[in-house]
C-alpha cells in the first residue's frame, strides 16, 4: 500500500488550483472577447482575470455584464410586447406627436425607436424647485386620491416627511384607494428593514421589492444594477417625477453629512401621464410573482391638459438600453445656442464627452453645474478627470456651494428640456433603470433654465488656468478614481 506524503498532497492541490485558475481566467477572457464592449473595459477585465483569476472571475460574475438575468429579460420582452398591443388599442392616435421641424423630428424619431413610447401632445408640466414644497404637493394629491396611487422609488428613508407620506398612503388604502409601492431592494433598505412595510401591508398598501441582490444565484443578473426611477401616478391623471427620493430633505442632509439637500420635481398632467403609468405598470409586472391582467394594468388614454409635447424615456440594461444616452447625444449635437446641464454626478464616458466638446467648439454656450461637496468623493474625483478636456473646449463649469445639488436637468436652446432621474455618469447612462421626460415647451424651458441659472449663481466658476495648476497628488487621486469610472 502506497502512502501519499504531505508534500505530494500539497503538489496535487497546487496543480488543481493552477488548473482551476486557468479555467476561470480562460472563461472570463473568452466571454469578454465575444462580448461587445469598449476596448479599455475589455482589457481591464482580461488583465484582472489573468492576474487575479479567482477575484477576477467573482467580480466579473457580479459586475462584468449589463444583465438583469435571463428570466427577467424574457419577462420584460413578453410583457412589453403585450403591453404595446393593449396600449395601441387604448391610445388616441390624435395625441401622438408628429414633428416635422428639426431638431424635434430627429429626437422624437429616435426616442420612439429606442424607448418604445411615442411622444405625445397635450401635457402640462409644473416645475417644483424645492424639495419640501414638492413633498407637500405630493401629500395634497395623495390625500385627494380617489382610485389609485402607484409609486416607485430608489431610496425610502423613514422619518419626518417620508413618514407623512407613508401615513397618507395608509389613509388612502383605508378609504378604498388601490395603493401600490415599488422600491429598490438596496436603496430602500432603511425602509424595508423598518416596521413600515408590515404596518402598511396590514392596512392594504401593496409593497414590492425591485431587483433583490442574489450574489450566489448565477444567472440572476448583475448585482449592482438598481431601480433608480422616482415616479408617482395618482388616479391615472396626475404624475410626478424628478430627483427627489422618499426622504425628509433636512433629515437626509444630516444623515449624508451635507449642509443642504437640493432636489426638484415636476408635476405632470395630460397625455404624458399615461406613459409614466405605463413605465410603472411594466416595472410592477416585472417584479410581480403573479401574472398580471394587462387589459386592467395598462393605463387608459389621458385627456390633454396643456400644450407641451412630451416623450417619456425609460432606460436600463434591458430592451431600452442606452435610450437616454442616445437621445441626449443627439440633442447635444443639434444644439445651436446654449446647453445647461445640472447633475450631481458627472462621469460621462467618451461619447457624451466628445459631443459636449464639439458643441462648445462650434460656438454653443455650454454650462455644467455640479455640487462642490457631493456625497461621493470617488465619483467627484473620477469626474474631475474630464474637466480639463471640457475647459479646453470652452465649456463653463460651475461648482454649487450651498449643499448637495441633486437635481438632474438639461435645457437646450431654451426650447428642449430633459428632466428626471438620470445622472451624467456611467451608472445612470448605462446600468440603472432610469426615467427622463424630454419636453418641447418654451414656457417650461424658461422656468427650468431659470432654476438652473439660480444654481449657477450660488456656485463658484472654475478658472481654467487655476484648474491646470492642481497639485500632483490631487491629479493622481483623480486618475485612480477614473479607472473605476465604468462602475461609477
Q: What is the largest distance, in Å, between two alpha-carbon atoms of the chain?
A: 91
Where do the domains of the chain lie? Answer: 9-63, 70-98+119-306, 323-487
Specify whether 414 is catalytic. Answer: no
Q: Identical fold at 70-98+119-306 and 323-487?
A: yes
The pLDDT, as a whole number, for residue 149 is 97
Give the active site residue among 161, 367, 384, 406. 406
Among 3.30.530.20, 3.30.870.10, 3.30.750.24, 3.40.50.10240, what is the CATH number of 323-487? 3.30.870.10
Q: Cα–Cα distances in Å, from 277 out to 83, 179, 291, 298?
A: 12, 13, 18, 8
Specify whether 283 is catalytic. Answer: no
Alpha-carbon dihedral sign for residues 332, 335, 337, 338: negative
HSE-up (13 A, CA, CB side) for residue 317: 24
Among 3.30.870.10, 3.20.20.210, 2.40.50.100, 3.30.497.10, what is the CATH number of 70-98+119-306? 3.30.870.10
The pLDDT, as a whole number, for residue 317 is 82
Residue-wise pLDDT for 273-298, tens only, equals 999 998 998 889 887 655 555 555 55
Give the active site residue among 150, 275, 413, 441. 413
The pLDDT, as a whole number, for residue 296 is 54
Specify whether 230 is catalytic. Answer: yes
Give the active site residue among 116, 150, 161, 228. 228
The pLDDT, as a whole number, for residue 286 is 81
The pLDDT, as a whole number, for residue 294 is 54
Give the active site residue among 230, 275, 384, 425. 230
pTM strictly above 0.85: yes
Specify whether 373 is catalytic. Answer: no
State the DSSP code for 429. Answer: I
Rounded to whole angstroms, the Cα distance separating 401 from 457 reads 10
Q: Which residues of the chain have pLDDT under 50?
A: 1
Specify whether 413 is catalytic. Answer: yes
Amino acid at each position: 500500500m502506497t502512502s501519499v506524503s504531505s508534500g505530494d498532497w500539497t503538489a496535487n492541490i497546487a496543480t488543481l488550483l493552477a488548473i482551476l485558475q486557468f479555467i476561470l481566467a480562460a472563461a472570463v477572457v473568452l466571454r469578454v472577447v465575444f462580448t461587445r464592449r469598449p476596448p479599455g473595459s475589455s482589457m481591464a477585465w482580461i488583465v484582472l482575470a489573468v492576474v487575479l483569476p479567482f477575484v477576477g472571475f467573482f467580480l466579473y460574475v457580479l459586475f462584468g455584464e449589463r444583465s438583469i438575468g435571463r428570466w427577467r429579460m424574457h419577462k420584460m420582452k413578453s410583457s412589453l410586447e403585450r403591453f404595446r398591443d393593449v396600449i395601441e388599442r387604448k391610445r388616441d392616435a390624435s395625441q401622438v406627436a408628429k414633428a416635422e421641424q428639426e431638431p424635434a423630428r430627429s429626437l422624437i424619431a429616435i426616442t420612439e425607436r429606442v424607448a418604445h413610447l411615442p411622444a405625445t401632445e397635450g401635457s402640462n408640466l409644473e416645475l417644483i424647485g424645492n424639495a419640501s414644497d414638492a413633498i407637500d404637493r405630493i401629500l395634497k394629491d395623495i390625500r385627494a386620491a380617489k382610485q389609485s396611487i402607484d409609486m416607485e422609488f430608489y431610496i425610502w428613508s423613514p422619518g419626518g416627511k417620508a413618514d407623512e407620506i407613508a401615513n397618507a398612503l395608509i389613509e388612502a388604502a383605508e378609504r378604498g384607494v388601490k395603493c401600490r409601492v415599488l422600491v429598490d431592494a438596496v436603496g430602500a433598505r432603511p425602509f424595508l428593514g423598518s416596521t413600515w412595510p408590515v404596518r402598511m401591508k396590514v392596512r392594504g398598501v401593496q409593497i414590492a421589492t425591485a431587483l433583490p441582490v442574489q450574489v450566489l444565484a448565477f444567472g440572476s443578473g448583475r448585482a449592482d444594477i438598481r431601480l433608480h426611477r422616482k415616479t408617482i401616478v395618482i388616479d391615472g391623471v396626475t404624475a410626478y417625477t424628478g430627483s427627489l427620493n422618499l426622504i425628509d430633505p433636512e433629515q437626509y442632509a444630516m444623515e449624508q453629512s451635507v449642509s443642504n439637500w437640493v432636489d426638484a420635481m415636476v408635476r405632470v398632467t395630460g397625455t404624458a401621464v399615461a406613459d409614466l403609468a405605463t413605465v410603472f405598470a411594466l416595472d410592477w409586472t416585472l417584479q410581480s410573482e403573479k401574472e398580471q391582467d394587462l387589459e386592467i394594468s395598462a393605463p387608459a388614454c389621458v385627456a390633454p391638459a396643456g400644450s407641451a409635447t412630451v416623450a417619456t424615456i425609460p432606460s436600463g440594461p434591458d430592451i431600452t438600453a442606452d435610450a437616454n444616452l442616445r437621445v441626449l447625444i443627439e440633442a447635444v449635437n443639434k444644439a445651436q445656442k446654449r446647453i445647461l446641464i445640472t447633475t450631481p454626478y458627472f462621469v460621462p464616458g467618451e461619447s457624451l464627452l466628445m459631443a459636449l466638446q464639439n458643441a462648445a467648439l462650434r460656438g454653443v454656450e455650454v454650462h455644467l453645474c455640479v455640487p462642490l461637496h457631493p456625497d461621493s468623493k470617488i465619483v467627484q474625483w473620477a469626474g474631475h478627470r474630464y474637466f480639463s478636456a471640457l475647459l479646453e473646449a470652452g465649456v463653463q463649469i460651475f461648482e454649487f456651494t450651498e449643499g448637495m445639488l441633486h437635481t438632474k436637468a438639461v435645457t437646450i436652446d431654451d426650447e428642449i428640456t430633459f428632466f428626471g432621474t438620470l445622472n451624467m455618469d456611467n451608472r445612470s447612462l448605462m446600468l440603472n433603470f432610469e426615467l427622463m421626460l424630454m419636453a418641447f415647451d418654451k414656457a417650461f424651458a424658461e422656468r427650468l433654465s431659470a432654476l438652473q441659472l439660480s444654481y449657477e449663481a450660488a456656485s463658484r466658476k472654475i478658472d481654467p488656468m487655476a484648474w491646470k495648476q492642481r497639485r500632483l497628488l490631487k491629479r493622481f487621486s483623480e486618475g485612480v478614481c477614473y479607472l473605476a469610472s465604468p462602475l461609477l
